[in-house]
Structure 1
Amino acid sequence: MLIITEQRKIGEIFDHPVYQVTKTSMIELANSKSRSSFLNPRDENRYKKILNTLDLRKDFFFSYSYPIMRGLQKNLSDPQEGWSLYESTFVWNEFLTRQIRNCLRSTLWTVALVYGFFKQDKFAISGKDVMFTLIARRSRHYAGTRYLKRGVNEKGRVANDVETEQIVYEAVPMPTEVSSVVQNRGSIPLFWSQDTSKLNIKPDIILHEKDKNYEATKLHFENLRGRYGNPIIIFNLIKRVKDGNPCFVENLIRQYGS
């Protein structure tokens, strides 16, 4: 079991502290009798080494009292707690804690970690102290490194899916006005890939004829509507025209976005 043994406070949202992991420890739960019953000790040691390579001190944060995996607007309009919080796209350790939560029938013994970025600072504007908070949450679905994970999978999950939230309010004990803006970024929701060669600085996009009816693309936009509602506004970062022909993303925007 990989547990957090030390943490550091990196900010707070309306008196709810937010922490960063600073130290972890791995504890072996098996005793000498149960250890001998492992079906394949080599697999156990292999997975243990892989888990040891994970550094939770980098880019992981959490809060005991505030659902940091959800945006402020959702927390205010649709408050949730317990089991439902782990169903979020942005709880990185949902699968790793699922078995212990199911066995104990409780979420009190686990901490929902978010993988991403958290930064909070105070500055003065027109004689007022303003608290600025920037939160980036990375999806636990279809995650992977650049170039190795591109596009969408059969379930409509896109690679590099990141939700970014900006929270601004006056730094007073009871702020009356709060601004929370959320935007989402992700890979183009089609089946495509790129050459992984380091010699090619700008590799071409290779579009695969795998989903002619765009079923996975439809699932992706249905998921976005469920998370954020309508309208869905798409900002295209790909060149609009190549070799005199409109980019395939342009056709996608006309069909699904606004």
Structure 2
Amino acid sequence: MNNSDVYNDLTLYITPENFYIEPVGQDSLVIIDRTTETVNVQRNVGQIPAANSKKDFCGFLGTINLLAGRYLVIATQRQLVGYIAGHAIWRLAKAELVPYCRSTLHLNQEQIADNNTQLSMIEFVLSTPYIYFSYSYDLTHTLQRLHDISPEFWSQSLVDRADQRFVWNGHLLKGLKRPDLRNFCLPLLHGFISINQCRINGLDFTWAIVSRRGIYRAGTRLFRRGIDRDGNVANFVETEQIIDFRNDRASFVQIRGSIPLYWNQLPDLRIKPPPSIMDIDPQEQTLACGKHLESTMAIYGKQVLVDLVDQHGAEGALEKSFRDAVKNLNISSVKYEPFDFHSECRKMRWDRLSILMDRIAPDLEENGFFLILRDGSLSSLQEGVFRTNCVDCLDRTNVVQSMLAHRNLEIVFRKLQILTQNATLENQISFEMLFKNVWADNADIISTQYSGTRALKTDFTRTGKRTKMGLIQDGVNSLVRYYKNNFTDGFRQDAIDLFLGNGEISVPMKVERGWRYVTFPSVLLIAMAMFVASAVFPQRYSTESLMYLLFWGSMVAATATTIFRYGKEFIDRPRLTEI
């Protein structure tokens, strides 16, 4: 193995005093004192005593401090996804937490319950689809960044040289990024990876999609919107499309992220709570937007801001504020490209997306793509990036990103002579089907991580057209989103914040509810039951039965109205951080 590679097969020995981590076939040994929590690395000369138990595992992910004390976090099962540039890429299949403390006798019953809740939160994040890692490849970097980095970069450990924006267990590895632990610490990527062996015109190549979900301002759909004071936006995702043809390697990168302004859209039991721009001085909004664009320009170069939100109503106010901020910044290398997706494509006229594609086609050519040839020579660089957003940066965004990726593929395939100059991908039926399904899978996974459900509008991504069955499926997903965003996302947001080190472990996990939380839903259920009984059971309707029906119907309406009036009291809100 290379000096910076991470050990991939290890054994954990557990004694009452220590943890011993032994890499298979290596002479290093990590000894962790379970009481003082000190970590030492020694040469393995057989000093492991008789252990209470031992466990084989495939990756050291770090440690985390919860209410009961510190826990060791290890990867115990993995699944091979494929190979990028000859390096194996794995998906985390199972992880375990091993407590330093031998008992919870130092906690009272309430604290034990809170600790169990925190454990379930960490386990929830580790089981959210999907988390990836590699023992030898820098998954957090694009091919172009790996090419641009200085020689000193390669002398660092895998976790030290990773792009920290995308290292999801950075908090777990805090304090462990030491030279003597360089081969133990395994960085994790959260997002989506698909690696596929393909053939077009008798030519074999690898086509891969790597989506990297950012850790800054990470969270759930309605509790994390907009920008923070450091210029980080919610649901920031970098997606790289990679082609490897006989060791000629091409890369095309796109980014998505919440509108870079101060705004929110907190759940309140309404089907679609309107987005609200925070009452902040417009100049401060512009400065925050500028900070975000400056930081992304430093990494990606020129930017085309493809804004897909509605240009009327509550979304229209957001669109106007974003447009005004970009106009006021007046950055020559930033281009604002609005497209009212819902208005332009109403009545299932999704063919009108070609209007947008034709408008930004010159930018696609100008931004370029990264291409390094098999002899090591650099053929081209990507000098700009498309930053696409809708309100959620999920459904509409993924449709447009997949279309941009498709057009880039045709350019790359012609450059590599996989396609002739006048040929198009539409005639490559098997590859077209694969392409559409992979991008739809990308949409589903990124959406599940942010909103809790699969993406909407993926019937278009999978088939190239909008269907009635797709509309029905979108309706089902929208209802599930409504339930999760209102009644389970407080837990999900707390889980993400705890995992990333943004939440206080001492905060009580039990939620204190007001009297309305129990009273009004109980009254509503009783009223609904009585209304149904009054409507169903009478053999014939009389004035009395109609009065009962009217009364209980009025009770249902009045109680439901009251619940929606105080909607914010009924939602599942985060506990660990201020929203």
Q: TM-score, normalised by structure 2?
A: 0.40
Give the one of 210, 223, 248 matched to 1:135.
210
User: How many Å separate the matches in 1 of 2:92 and 2:291?
Assistant: 35
Other-structure match for 2:223: 148
Give the one of 90, 104, 108 matched to 2:166.
90
Give the one of 298, 302, 325 matched to 1:252.
325
User: How many Å separate the matches in 2 of 1:163 and 1:137?
Assistant: 5
Change (3 A) 1:194 1:31: closer
1:95-244 to 2 correspondences below 5 Å: 95-101=171-177, 106-170=181-245, 172=246, 175=247, 177-197=248-268, 199-201=270-272, 203-211=273-281, 212-213=283-284, 214-228=286-300, 230-240=301-311
Task: Decide whether the 8 Å contact of 1:168 with 1:179 is kept in 2.
Answer: yes
Please report how far the alpha carbon of residue 126 of structure 1 lies from its aligned counterpart in structure 2 after TM superposition: 2.1
Change (3 A) 1:71 1:87: closer
Q: Which moved more, 1:91-100 or 1:234-243?
A: 234-243
Change (3 A) 1:116 1:4: same
Q: Which moved more, 1:239-248 or 1:141-150?
A: 239-248
Please tell me whether Structure 1 or Structure 2 has the larger radius of gyration of its CA atoms. Answer: 2
Task: Decide whether the 8 Å contact of 1:21 with 1:57 is kept in 2.
Answer: no
Task: Decide whether the 8 Å contact of 2:133 with 2:187 is kept in 1.
Answer: yes
Give the one of 145, 149, 161 matched to 1:74.
145
Q: Deviations over 1:154-207 (max 9, x none)?
A: 11110000000000122x4xx2x2210011110011001125245434x43311
User: How many Å separate the matches in 2 of 1:251 and 1:146?
Assistant: 25
User: How many Å separate the matches in 1 of 2:238 and 2:259?
Assistant: 15
The percentage of counterpart residues that share the same residue type is 26
Please report how far the alpha carbon of residue 141 of structure 1 lies from its aligned counterpart in structure 2 after TM superposition: 0.7
Change (3 A) 1:107 1:133: same
5+ residue gaps, structure 1, are none
User: How many Å separate the matches in 2 of 1:166 and 1:48?
Assistant: 36
Name the structure where helix makes up a greater proportion of residues: 2
Give the one of 64, 80, 89 matched to 2:135.
64
Other-structure match for 2:98: 27
3-state SS, counterpart of residue 163 of structure 1: strand
Give the one of 33, 50, 67 matched to 2:121.
50
Partner letter of residue 149 of structure 1? R
Q: Deviations over 1:65-87 (max 9, x none)?
A: 00001111111221634253245
3-state SS, counterpart of residue 252 of structure 1: helix
Change (3 A) 1:120 1:86: closer
Q: Deviations over 1:82-120 (max 9, x none)?
A: 253245201111111112335x76332211000000001
Name the structure where strand makes up a greater proportion of residues: 1
5+ residue gaps, structure 2, are 1-71, 336-579
Change (3 A) 1:71 1:13: same
Change (3 A) 1:151 1:57: closer
Change (3 A) 1:45 1:199: closer
> Over aligned residue pairs, what C-alpha RMSD do you find?
2.8
Q: TM-score, normalised by structure 1?
A: 0.84
User: How many Å separate the matches in 2 of 1:161 and 1:116?
Assistant: 11
Partner letter of residue 224 of structure 1? T
